[in-house]
Each structure stands twice: as C-alpha cells, then as structure tokens.
A and B are shown apart, each in its own frame.
Chain A
C-alpha cells in the first residue's frame, strides 16, 4: 500500500544537518543540468507535474533510498521520456555506451528555446480550474480523512494524502478553490478538478507522543480525500 517517498512521521533518520545560509558548497554542475533538463523536458508538454512526481516516487524503494536528490529526478525523467515515447530504450542504451551517435535533428517547435525561458518560468502552470464539483465543506467544518491513504483509481498509484494523516480528524481552515486532482492527472486519467482545502490537525491526533499538546499540522487535501466528521 505505501510507497517509500511517503516518509512523514518516520523514525530513525537522524539529525537534520542545516548549512548556515550562504555557506553551502557550490552544487556540482550535474545537479544544475539535471534541474534544467527536467524543466526543459517538462516544457515539451508531454506530461503534467503530477506525472513527474509519480515517476520519482515509483522508483524501486532500493533506488529511491540510495539515489541522491537529483538522481531521483534524473531517473524519473528517463522513465517518463520512455513512457511517453520521446526516447526509446535502445536510444538510452546507445547514449550510455556512446554507440548511439546520430545526426543532430532540428529542434522541435515544442522545445523550450533560450528566449522563451523567462516567459515560461514567469507563466508557471496554475493548478486551479473551473469546476462543477460543489464545495461540501466550509472553514470550521470537522472532517475526517480517508483511510487507507491510497489512490482510489489506480492501485498503488499517486496520491497526495500522506499515510500519517490517513483516518485523522481535523478542521477545515481554508478553501483554496478547485484544483487539478493529482490522483487522476498523474495517470493520464484527466484533471478532474475538485475543491481543495487546508485542514488543520492537532498533533495529538496524528502522533502517539506529541511534543506539545497545542502543536498542529496543516495539510492541503482534496474534497474526495475527506468526509464530514
């Protein structure tokens, strides 16, 4: 049921190691290249951001755990490029061995060119949509999240309800309007926009041993993740 990326609340990770601001080592060039290639490929429009997240969290747990951050991005990207037919497995293999040299093809009109980088980054990709789905909850309403925290459309599929918050009771804090539903959009099943809410939970509702009784956790949750409590 669970996937390795869903780690909120997990024990055993050891201390956080913050770098004082301004002292971080210059990141390796390949980190920056991976970020840039991921954004440039995303701009081809062949998949939504939900599918990019799905690809990274669908890595085998042993790969997810041994890969550094940008290695996860790179692996997810390579898998998506093959899934969408933009690159073949043979081409990946050829690229790896250096035997796949081929003539340079003209840049596709869909490709992000240097002059379009600034406007594309400034435009972003808003997730709000018009929707016929009526809002069932209002700020102040008591709600319970569904349990287990699973995609109801695709077994083992992408969802944004973390396991630690499954079956928990909270209170609606904010209504964000209708947003694209990742559970469907990540799998090519349509955007299916529905109302999105910020829901606040008492720490004691989520954890057996909260640090302070007054502490809280807020999550953004889609309407179909929630029922009246």
Chain B
C-alpha cells in the first residue's frame, strides 16, 4: 500500500521562519518560474475584498423572507437558485439552505478544516477557523452560542452541520418581528454574517 510520505519529509521547513518573509520568498520564486502571475494575485485579493462577502448571502436571505415561492425553491435546490442570482462559484458549488424555526436552530462548522460558503459569505472570520470553535461547537453548541451572546430556549433543538464534504450550508435565519413593511433591501441590512452561520440571529429593525 502507498504510504503518506509527507510524514517523513517536509520541504516547507526550508522557507524562512517569519511568515511574511516566507510567503514573499515563495511568491518571488513562483513568479520567476512563470507559475504565478502577480496581477492575478491582486485580482483574487480584490475579488474577496470588494465583490464577494456576506452581502451576497444577505440578499438571498432577504429575498427568501420577502418571497414565499423563492424561499420554497431555495430550500428545495439552493444551488440552482443561487446560480440564477450570480452567486455560484468556488467553495459554493453545492449549496444547501437550512431554515431556522421556532423548533430548530441550525449552526454550521467544519471540524476538519474550515469549509465555508465563500460566494455567499466571503472568506471566513478568524473565530470560524479557530481550534476552539472547531473542537467545541459540535459537542457543546449552547455554551459556544452563549459566548456569542446568544442563549436559545431549552425546547429548541440545536442542529450542528459539520461540513465534511463539498456541500456548503447556508443558515436561513428567522425573520425578525416588525419587518412586514420593509423592502427587500432594508431586510438585507438586518441579515448578519453570523446569522447565516448560526452563531447569531438577524438584527431587529431600528
């Protein structure tokens, strides 16, 4: 049987110990070797800084709140619906939307690495990638939610989704009370990133 030769040989240790110098050394080498175009690196960074972020997911949620038939389609085939909105893409090739209700609260994690629905929420926050969140939220989700300031009623089931495959989960938070008259755009402003991960709720209207 093949063995995992990584265990015996780690070339990465040849790079400088300071991380900023390490990435600079690797980038310089890759550019000189013609493997990486520095302009492409700038374009990738710009994409995730300015074009892709939780504002995308918020538009999906707001539309689901405002339009019952859209909500039904989202819960049935989120990948198709999100593609129509132009949000299909890397780390969002297979999306499933899970709906919070009075009886069930959903939370998303990736205990094995840091899988996250990039096209809808952007690059994950540091806490999502932290050992503490990865290790603990599957075993004691209520305690972890309390650290976010969220205490759920005992009678509400907590369902934690561990993203172990290429399916990316989007939590559809509950629509706040007193928002009947709001436009879709105003609704989207109430949808926080954390409410779409499940570590928070949507904001109440002012």
User: Which residues of A approach B to under 8 Å, CB–CB?
Assistant: 5-11, 13-19, 21, 24, 28-30, 32-37, 39-41, 44, 49, 53-60, 63, 68-71, 74-79, 81-83, 86-87, 89, 91-96, 100, 102-108, 111-114, 116-118, 120-128, 153-157, 160-162, 164-165, 174, 176, 179-180, 182, 187, 189, 196, 198, 200, 206-207, 211-212, 214-222
Asked whether, in the complex, the Cβ of A9 is within 8 Å of the Cβ of B162, the reply is no
Question: What residues on A are CB-neighbors of B89 within 8 Å?
Answer: 121-124
For the complex, what is the distance from the CA of A176 to the CA of B94, rounded to whole Å? 9
For the complex, what is the distance from the CA of A221 to the CA of B163, rounded to whole Å? 10
Give B61-79 as 1s and 0s: 1 = Cβ < 8 Å from A's Cβ atoms: 0000000000000000000
- Measured between C-beta atoms, what is the minimum distance from B138 to chain A in Å? 5
Question: What residues on B are CB-neighbors of A112 within 8 Å?
Answer: 36-37, 40
Instruction: Please list 14 pairs of residues, one from A and one from B, whose beta carbons are closer than 8 Å in the complex, sorted by A's number.
Output: A5-B112, A6-B111, A13-B130, A53-B112, A71-B19, A75-B10, A82-B11, A89-B11, A92-B15, A105-B33, A116-B40, A155-B1, A161-B164, A164-B138
Interchain CB contact (< 8 A) of B6 among A53, A55, A89, A155: A55
Number of interface residues of B (CB under 8 A): 95
Asked whether, in the complex, the Cβ of A154 is within 8 Å of the Cβ of B2, the reply is yes
Question: What residues on A are CB-neighbors of B206 within 8 Å?
Answer: none
- Measured between C-beta atoms, what is the minimum distance from B190 to chain A in Å? 12
Question: What residues on A are CB-neighbors of B22 within 8 Å?
Answer: 30, 71, 74, 96
Interchain CB contact (< 8 A) of B14 among A93, A120, A126, A180: A93
Count, A-B residue pairs, CB within 8 A: 328
For the complex, what is the distance from the CA of A53 to the CA of B40, rounded to whole Å? 23
- A6-B112 in contact given A35-B48, A161-B164 (Cβ < 8 Å): yes
Question: What residues on B are CB-neighbors of A215 within 8 Å?
Answer: 141-142, 157-160
Interchain CB contact (< 8 A) of B34 among A5, A63, A111, A156: A111
Question: What residues on A are CB-neighbors of B47 within 8 Å?
Answer: 117-118, 121
For the complex, what is the distance from the CA of A160 to the CA of B157, rounded to whole Å? 25
Given contacts A36-B42, A76-B12, 8 further A-B contacts (CB under 8 A): A8-B111, A8-B135, A35-B44, A105-B33, A117-B44, A126-B94, A174-B96, A220-B165
Of chain B, the residue at the smallest CB distance from A32 is: B45
Question: What residues on B are CB-neighbors of A40 within 8 Å?
Answer: 30, 36-37, 40-41, 44
For the complex, what is the distance from the CA of A44 to the CA of B47, rounded to whole Å? 19
Which segment of B143-151, B170-178, B179-187 sits at the interface?
B143-151
Of chain A, the residue at the smallest CB distance from B31 is: A104
Asked whether, in the complex, the Cβ of A89 is within 8 Å of the Cβ of B134, the reply is no
Asked whether, in the complex, the Cβ of B1 is within 8 Å of the Cβ of A153, the reply is yes
- Measured between C-beta atoms, what is the minimum distance from B199 to chain A in Å? 7
Question: What residues on B are CB-neighbors of A111 within 8 Å?
Answer: 34-37, 40
For the complex, what is the distance from the CA of A132 to the CA of B68, rounded to whole Å? 37
For the complex, what is the distance from the CA of A164 to the CA of B28, rounded to whole Å? 41
Of chain A, the residue at the smallest CB distance from B136 is: A13
Interchain CB contact (< 8 A) of B165 among A83, A123, A176, A217: A176
Question: What residues on A are CB-neighbors of B158 within 8 Å?
Answer: 211-212, 215-216
- A126-B125 in contact given A121-B44, A157-B4 (Cβ < 8 Å): no
For the complex, what is the distance from the CA of A149 to the CA of B6, rounded to whole Å? 20
Question: What residues on B are CB-neighbors of A68 within 8 Å?
Answer: 19
Asked whether, in the complex, the Cβ of A18 is within 8 Å of the Cβ of B127, the reply is yes
Question: What residues on B are CB-neighbors of A127 within 8 Å?
Answer: 93-94, 165-166
Question: What residues on A are CB-neighbors of B148 within 8 Å?
Answer: 16, 18
Asked whether, in the complex, the Cβ of A21 is within 8 Å of the Cβ of B192, the reply is yes
- A100-B29 in contact given A6-B112, A24-B125, A217-B162 (Cβ < 8 Å): yes
Asked whether, in the complex, the Cβ of B90 is within 8 Å of the Cβ of A33, the reply is no
Interface assignment of B23: CB less than 8 Å from any CB of chain A: yes
